[in-house]
Structure 1
Amino acid sequence: MTTPPALLIAGHGIRDEAGANAFRDFVRDLARRDAGLPVAGGVVGPSPSPSLAEAVADLAGRGAERFTAVPLTLAPAGRAGAGVEAALHAALGGAEEHHPGISYSCARPLGPHPSLLDVIGRRLDEALGGPARAPGDRADVMVLLVGEGSTDPEANADVHRAARLLWEGRGYAGVETAFVSLAAPDVPSGLDRCVRLGARRIVVLPYFLFAGAAPERISRQTEGWAAAHPGIEVLSAGVIGPAEELLDLVMERYRESAADGGPSANRDHDTRPGARAHVR
């Protein structure tokens, strides 16, 4: 019987201690699910959490020679997701030099999966005091979905796509988008737009997996705008967080990649947009 690969959780954009703590807790929650599966988590780029190289060293030290990396990002496959995948391949390529003989596969990013949209819907219900009792209960509620923001238009388009999927069939007056940085509109401008569209009841929803500096910034901007507009009811929703659906989705991505060797197992990775990786 073939030993299943270890699970490597690849975080991205986790730059502050609050986000790093949430990430580490999430990795521990995953590890508790299957005591026989080696699990480690590392972050691509600067972070208080362990780096991806440190996580690979941890797995290698526990005897793992094969592992599947699951990118913990909301970007779907595409250019935005490919940027994360390129950084992941670069980090894993460097790890291979220090640990000869290891092999890996990379799973698909999480994307705006239906189960995550269900969690987001639950966060909205929590902010509004409970689930809707009738179809028209949310007809006066406008949602402002706030993403991180990027210089990559496709990454920003991903947030717009999630907003559309969230709006469909859920009874809200509308779902608008805003960004924390690097893209327009910012949170105050997004709230202004909601008012111009007729909103008198708005829920600001951070499109983030974990708590951290960016969601805190969204909360502060929301509070400041609300104080200046006392005639508008403004509520703040929570981040997705370590929900069971998120844990299940990570394991789903792990299993599908582990079953077929993954879409990018030990590949020479060409990071140009639209380029395809080649198996060694």
Structure 2
Amino acid sequence: MNSNLQAQTILLVGHGSREPSGNLEIQAFADLWRGREPQRRIEVCFIEFADVLLDVGLDNAAQHGGQVVVVPLILNAAGHVKMEIPEHIEHARLRHPQIEFVYCRHLGSCEEILVILKRNLRKALHELDVPDPRNTGVIVLGRGSSDRVANGELAKMARWLYEESDHDLVDIAFTGITHPRLESVVQRQIKQEMRQIVVLPFYLFTGTLIERIRRQMSRLQSQYPQVHFALGNYLGFEDEIYRLLQQRIVEATADRQPQMMECDGCKYREFAADHGQGHHHHP
């Protein structure tokens, strides 16, 4: 093993799901990554709904010594990325002062993610026998957050998808926390004479929300039998995700000078710290 990699542990942080298959997919993703790069030490933990949570994951990774590179397997920067993970890292630094903890950027809304969305859209259109895009609506469906910046990232991806396609309508919807919801956007697109509608989940892996989306799609098809629906894949194990993770690790570790974490200058986090507030997860 390369001496630099030998002193480095990658800690992959997944969100965690009440649906066990979601957590198992992240474990499988890590196994595939180990297969691609057997010289790397890769461990996994979760923010919630799992056996190995952040503190345990950080402590386990610290046992190897050297450097722990914390890699959030998360698309958008909301409370988990801006506040919760950094807080746990700060506590881990106190518990393990001899360890260098490095925090990577989240995946983000970027060209690599756009490539996957475009690929998933093409596959879904083939399921519909390649209809006219001008009367085929597209809905990019995200998790939803109380953080407006995170919600804006979804809108950015939808706009980029619109710019690089021939679809007259590319909208966004959310499964919770904020609006609009999927049913409302479907209704709006049908009123605008969309004959087919493709829903693209803006999710990395399966879980309870993906299962809920499938049930929603079944109900929508029954409610609007005159419209053809297709549900695209979630982002999953695509090569672009691996490349993004590698890029984030290089960005975080190339400069060995102490780095400002993405959340360190966040006014929201400064306000929370001044008022004694930590991160609270709302389902």
- Residue of structure 2 equivalent to 1:171: 166
Structure 2 Cα separation of the partners of residues 262 and 199 of structure 1? 53
SS for the counterpart of 2:221 is helix
How far is 1:82 from its partner? 6.3
- Residue of structure 1 equivalent to 2:203: 208
- Residue of structure 2 equivalent to 1:23: 26
**CA 1:13–1:155: 2 relative to 1, 3 Å:** farther
SS for the counterpart of 1:64 is coil
SS for the counterpart of 1:111 is coil
- Residue of structure 2 equivalent to 1:195: 190
- Give the root-mean-square deviation of aligned CA atoms: 2.8
Matches within 5 A, 1:1-280: 3-4=4-5, 5-12=8-15, 14-44=17-47, 46-61=48-63, 63-75=64-76, 80-81=77-78, 83-129=80-126, 137-261=132-256, 264=259, 269=264, 272-273=267-268
Aligned residues: 268
How far is 1:17 from its partner? 1.2
Give me the TM-score of the superposition, normalised by structure 1.
Answer: 0.85
What is the letter of the counterpart of residue 207 of structure 1?
F
How far is 1:69 from its partner? 1.4
Consecutive unaligned residues of structure 1, counting only runs of 5 or more, are none
Structure 2 Cα separation of the partners of residues 185 and 217 of structure 1? 16
Does the 8 Å CA contact 1:105/1:261 hold for their aligned counterparts?
A: no
**CA 1:131–1:70: 2 relative to 1, 3 Å:** farther
SS for the counterpart of 1:234 is strand
SS for the counterpart of 1:185 is coil
Identity %: 26
Deviates more, 1:122-131 or 1:14-23: 122-131
What is the letter of the counterpart of residue 243 of structure 2?
D
Note the alpha carbon deviations across 1:158-195, whole angstroms, 9 max, x for none: 21111111111222222111111111111111111111
What is the letter of the counterpart of residue 183 of structure 1?
T
Give me the TM-score of the superposition, normalised by structure 2.
Answer: 0.85
Deviates more, 1:11-20 or 1:262-271: 262-271
Note the alpha carbon deviations across 1:46-103, whole angstroms, 9 max, x for none: 2225212222233233x2321221221211xxxx446513211111122233333111
What is the letter of the counterpart of residue 43 of structure 1?
F
How far is 1:272 from its partner? 3.7
**CA 1:132–1:250: 2 relative to 1, 3 Å:** farther
Structure 1 Cα separation of the partners of residues 184 and 67 of structure 2? 48
Does the 8 Å CA contact 1:188/1:222 hold for their aligned counterparts?
A: no
Structure 1 Cα separation of the partners of residues 75 and 28 of structure 2? 19
How far is 1:266 from its partner? 8.1
How far is 1:207 from its partner? 0.6
